[in-house]
Amino acid sequence: MSIKTEAIVLHAKPFRDADRLYEVLTPSEGMLTLVARGAAKSSSKMTGFLQPFDRVRLMIGRGRMDHIAGVATQESFRNLRASWPDFILASSLVELVLKLHVPGVAARREFDLFLETLRVLDDGSRSARDRVIIGRIFLWKLFSIAGWRPNIDSCAVCREALAHAPVSYDAVKGFVCRAHAEGAMQLPASLMVFLADVMDNGDWNALIATALGGNHEREWFSISQKYYQDILEAPIESLKLFQYV
Check whether residue 94 and residue 53 sit in a common domain: no
Q: Give me the sheet containing 185-187, strands edge to edge.
A: 174-176, 167-170, 185-187
Shared-domain flag, residues 69 and 101: no
Range(s) of the domain holding residue 210? 79-242
The tens digit of pLDDT for each residue in 154-200 reads 999 999 888 777 899 998 899 999 899 988 999 988 888 899 999 99
> End of a domain among 76, 104, 120?
76
User: For residue 239, is pLDDT > 70?
Assistant: no
Of 54, 76, 98, which marks where a domain is finished?
A: 76
3-class SS of residue 14? strand
52 and 28 co-located in one domain: yes
Cβ burial of 95 (10 Å; 0-12, 13-18, 19+) is middle
Per-residue pLDDT band at 140 (split at 50, 70, 90): very high
CATH number at residue 45: 2.40.50.140
CB atoms under 10 Å from CB of 56, counted, come to 22
Backbone angles phi, psi at 209, to 5 degrees: -65, -40
Q: Please indicate, yes or no, whether residues 71 and 93 belong to a single structural domain of this protein.
A: no
Is pLDDT above 70 for 106? Answer: yes
Both 68 and 128 in a single domain?
no
Same domain for 164 and 44, yes or no, is no
Stretch 44-52: mean pLDDT: 82
- Separation of alpha carbons 14 and 17, rounded Å: 8
Describe the crossing of helices 128-145 and 204-213 by its angle, rounded to 10 degrees.
120
Which residue, 14, 41, 76, sits at the end of a domain? Answer: 76
- Span 5-18, average pLDDT: 91
- DSSP letter for 3, please: E
Choose among 174, 178, 204, 210: nearest CA to 191: 210
User: Percentage of the chain surpassing pLDDT 90?
Assistant: 51
My answer on whether 98 and 42 are in the same domain is no
pLDDT at 85 over 70: yes
184 and 140 housed in the same domain: yes
Average pLDDT, the chain: 88
- Number of domains the chain contains: 2
Based on the fold, state whether residues 134 and 205 are members of the same structural domain: yes
CA distance 178 to 165: 8
Element (H, E) at 133: helix 128-145
Mean pLDDT of 14-24: 89
**67 plus 120 within the same structural domain:** no
- pTM beyond 0.75: the answer is yes
How would residue 245 be classed by pLDDT, with cut points 50, 70 and 90?
Answer: very low
The answer to which of 42-56, 150-164, 204-218, 223-237 has the lowest mean pLDDT is: 223-237
Q: Which of 4, 5, 61, 3 is nearest to 37 (CA)?
A: 61
Mean pLDDT for the stretch of residues 135-140: 94
User: Band of the pLDDT at 244, cuts 50, 70, 90?
Assistant: low
- What value does the mean pLDDT take over residues 202-206? 93
Clarify whether residues 34 and 48 are in a common domain. yes
* Confidence tier at 34 by pLDDT (50, 70, 90): very high
Confidence of residue 122 (pLDDT cuts 50, 70, 90): very high
- 9 exposure class (CB count in 10 Å sphere: 0-12, 13-18, 19+): buried
**52 and 41: one domain?**
yes
Compute the distance between CA of residue 168 and CA of residue 174 in angstroms, rounded to an integer. Answer: 8
Q: Which amino acid is at 170?
A: D
pLDDT score at 235: 61
Q: What is the pLDDT averaged over residues 74-83?
A: 94
Mean pLDDT of 211-229: 86
